Amino acid sequence: MRFLKNTWIGIKSYRKALIFIIEHKLYWYVAIPAILMLGIYKIGHSFLVNKPTYEATNMNEISWLLIQLFVELSISIALMRFAKYLVVIILSPLISHLSQKVEYELTGNRYKFEFSQLLHDIKRGFRIAIRNIMWEYAFFIIIYLLAKIGSTSAEAVPIVIVIWFISFYYYGFSFLDYVNERLKLNVEQSIQFTRKNRGLALAIGALYSLLIWVPVDLTALFDWSTFSDNPFEFLYRFMVNLLLWICASFAPIWAIVAATISMNDLVDLKKTREIVVSDFSNERA
């Protein structure tokens, strides 16, 4: 029952978050990840397009040429293909600030800005991200190998769907941890709290994942070479990818507002840290 109840709280929080964003005019925050995403992609695109010409006359120069080309190609692909994920990591301070702002509007709780605390938040966020990536990757390998047994196509095995839900959980955990940190829960306590309320984490991570994984082709926003050949087809492609890009940019803003609202619905953020800590400590006992 707890799982279903918390899942429903998470689902409802997205509707509340959308209303909250509109009422408090927080939609301008979307411009920041949108511009950053395009900037990262554009840098990667420049690496790929503006490759300098090389001349190699011996095996030693050829070897170094191949290494250099591999590094440049890897950087360009990483920046172009994973721009959406890099944006979320880079925006960690902004996401933390927005979560505090939402909590203040909901409860009146105010947090004094301290540079040392900002560095702590960034370090904690990076630690959580690395931990989640490692666990998610480990589960992915195990499930993929299990699906491979007795099947020529692992993607066709229903068990692979579990990988999606694991991703939802860890994405949701990342957003909930911003609030857990302000409740003065350490990383281990935050992990315990999220496990206890895994339904909430899954709900928060699900919609975020669906938005961040939209198949947007940012090349369509930069490459205008086909406009003169077929302007209507180009404009259709441009508008579709522009809309998908906005959805992906909106994802981290919407998710952190929803996560903060859902945590307030779950534990009442006006309560003290001791109440929250004792809640899952007693459950564990």
- Write the pLDDT tens digit of every residue in 87-99: 677 788 888 889 9
Those residues with Cβ within 8 angstroms of residue 107's Cβ, 6 or more apart along the chain or in another chain: 264, 269, 270
Is the pLDDT score of 81 beyond 60? no
Helix (H, G, I), strand (E, B) or coil at 114: coil
Cα separations (Å) of 77 from 13, 51, 84, 236?
A: 35, 13, 13, 25
Kindly indicate the confidence band of residue 83, based on its pLDDT and cuts at 50, 70 and 90. low
280: confidence class by pLDDT, cuts 50, 70, 90: low
Instruction: Give the pLDDT band (50/70/90) at residue 145.
Output: low
Q: In Å, how far are 3, 35, 236, 237, 245 from 241, measured between CA atoms?
A: 36, 15, 9, 6, 6
Question: Apex CA 245: angle with CA 134 and CA 19, to 5°?
Answer: 90
CA count, 13 A, side-chain hemisphere, 231: 1
The beta-strand segments (E) located in the chain are: none
Is residue 254 over pLDDT 80?
Answer: yes
- Residue 233 pLDDT > 80, yes or no? yes
Domain residue ranges in the chain: 2-39+82-284
Report the percentage of the chain scoring pLDDT > 70: 72
In whole angstroms, give the CA distance from residue 174 to residue 165: 14
